[in-house]
Amino acid sequence: MTDWRNLIFSPLDLPEPPDVSTDKFIAWHSEQKEYMLKHNKNITNSKKLYGGYCWHVSWAKWWNTYDKANPWICDFDKHFPELVEYLELFPFTQTKSISFLNQLGGAEVNLHTDPDNFWGMRFYLKNKNKEALYFSRTLEPNDVRIRTMENESGAPLDKKRDPLDYCKKEKLYAKFPTERCAWMLNSYRAWHGVDKNPTPTGSRITCSIIGEYDKEKLFDLFESSTKAHKDYQIWY
Res 44: pLDDT = 46
Cβ neighbors of 16 (< 8 A, separation 6 or more) are 178, 180, 181
Q: pLDDT digit string (tens) for 132-184?
A: 999 999 999 999 999 998 888 777 788 889 999 999 999 999 999 999 999 99
Res 64: pLDDT = 85
Is pLDDT at 230 greater than 60 in this prediction?
Answer: yes
Average pLDDT across the chain, whole number:
91
8 Å CB contact between 60 and 98? yes
Determine the CATH number of domain 10-235.
2.60.120
Res 48: pLDDT = 39
Res 204: pLDDT = 92
Query: Is the Cα torsion angle 22, 23, 25, 26 positive or negative in sign?
Result: positive
Pairing of the two strands 234-235 and 172-173: unpaired
Res 41: pLDDT = 55
Measured CA to CA, the distance from residue 195 to residue 106 in angstroms comes to: 9
Cβ neighbors of 90 (< 8 A, separation 6 or more) are 14, 121, 182, 209
Q: pLDDT digit string (tens) for 37-87?
A: 777 655 444 443 334 578 888 899 988 889 999 999 999 999 999 999 999
Residue 194 main-chain phi, psi, to 5 deg: -135, 130
8 Å CB contact between 16 and 122? no
- In the chain, what is the straight-line distance between the N-terminal and C-terminal CA atoms, in Å? 16
Mean pLDDT, range 194-209, rounded to an integer: 92
Res 161: pLDDT = 92
- CB neighbours (10 Å) of residue 86? 18
Q: pLDDT digit string (tens) for 85-125?
A: 999 999 999 999 999 999 988 999 999 999 999 999 999 99
Q: pLDDT digit string (tens) for 8-42?
A: 999 999 999 999 998 999 999 989 888 877 776 55
